[in-house]
Amino acid sequence: MDDLDAVVRGSSYAVTAVGDALYDLLAKLLGVPLYTLLGGLYRDRVQMVWSIGMKATSEMEKEANAVKERGYRKVKIKVGSPNPQDDIEHARAVRQVLGKENSFRIDANAGYTFKDALSTILAMKELELEFVEQPLPIWDLDGLRKLSEIVNLPIMADESVNTPQSALELVKRQAAAIFDIKLAKHGGVYYARKIAAIAKTANIPLYAGNQPASSIGAATAIHFFAATKNVIAGDFNIGPDGWLADDIVTKPLALEGPFALVPPGVGIGVELDEAKLARYAVAV
């Protein structure tokens, strides 16, 4: 991993692809599931949070109602629009659909200034937000800490936590109460485990996120979360699920309502469909 990082420094997605493939291979050589290689099974499933993108209020209401009927009990919406009043309107409408019994949170993807974040979050206090995800720019760690103190809500770092060093800095500044883990963002299992160790030491939970990916990426991520103690429900994307046209494994990951199940078998538990791989391959 050190040699790989030296060659493709800063290319976390490339590092993830190679490094996580080596974890899968090592687990297969040992004849064990990847979660065993990573320390054991804390859970056999991960609860998924549904994320609703910014769109017309009526469309957001419709999507919230649909996922509620599918059994999702944790929903977040994207905010950070040029007009914060639109975000407030969207949040109130979605909360109305979800009802008070379901968990609700917002994600600004680093899109607010401190002033807009403060006024918007305070305006949403009546909606009983569980937490706020990355309201400020990546670099504004002091702003994250100050904002959390004023609004009295947990702040989850996403874009601000991407390396073990950034995780350590967030802990030192008390700038985040939750870390959003996405393997590809960090460089795969190898580096995510380092961040997880820092978070556990600081008593910070890990949000089970992952980028939209085939079942290969999702399977690797779910093994990591299954073998990590301090994990909470997250935006766990499974295979195509509206993001991709198709999957490239023989048997995609299984779902049970709003839960993704850890696949059985050795390694990451899924097998590549060679015919599909050939069909979708692009010559470069």
Active site residues: 78, 182
> CA dist 60 to 51, 67, 123, Å?
10, 11, 19
User: What is the C-alpha to C-alpha distance for residues 14 and 30, in angstroms, rounded to an integer?
Assistant: 25
Helix (H/G/I), strand (E/B), else coil: 133: strand
Among residues 39, 42, 11, the alpha carbon closest in space to that of 188 is found at 11
The alpha carbons of the chain give a radius of gyration, in whole angstroms, of 19
Structure tokens at 261: 């199940």
Q: Looking at 182-278, which runs of residues are DSSP E strands?
A: 206-208, 231-232, 255-256, 259-261
User: What is the C-alpha to C-alpha distance for residues 14 and 4, in angstroms, rounded to an integer?
Assistant: 9
Please state whether beta strands 206-208 and 231-232 pair in parallel, antiparallel, or not at all (unpaired): parallel
- Written as one string, the DSSP assignment of 58-91 is HHHHHHHHHHHHTT--EEEEE---SSHHHHHHHH
User: What is the C-alpha to C-alpha distance for residues 222 and 199, in angstroms, rounded to an integer?
Assistant: 18
Write phi, then psi, for 109 (nearest 5 degrees).
Answer: 50, 45
- The count of C-alpha atoms lying within 13 angstroms of the C-alpha of 154, restricted to the half-sphere facing its C-beta, is 17
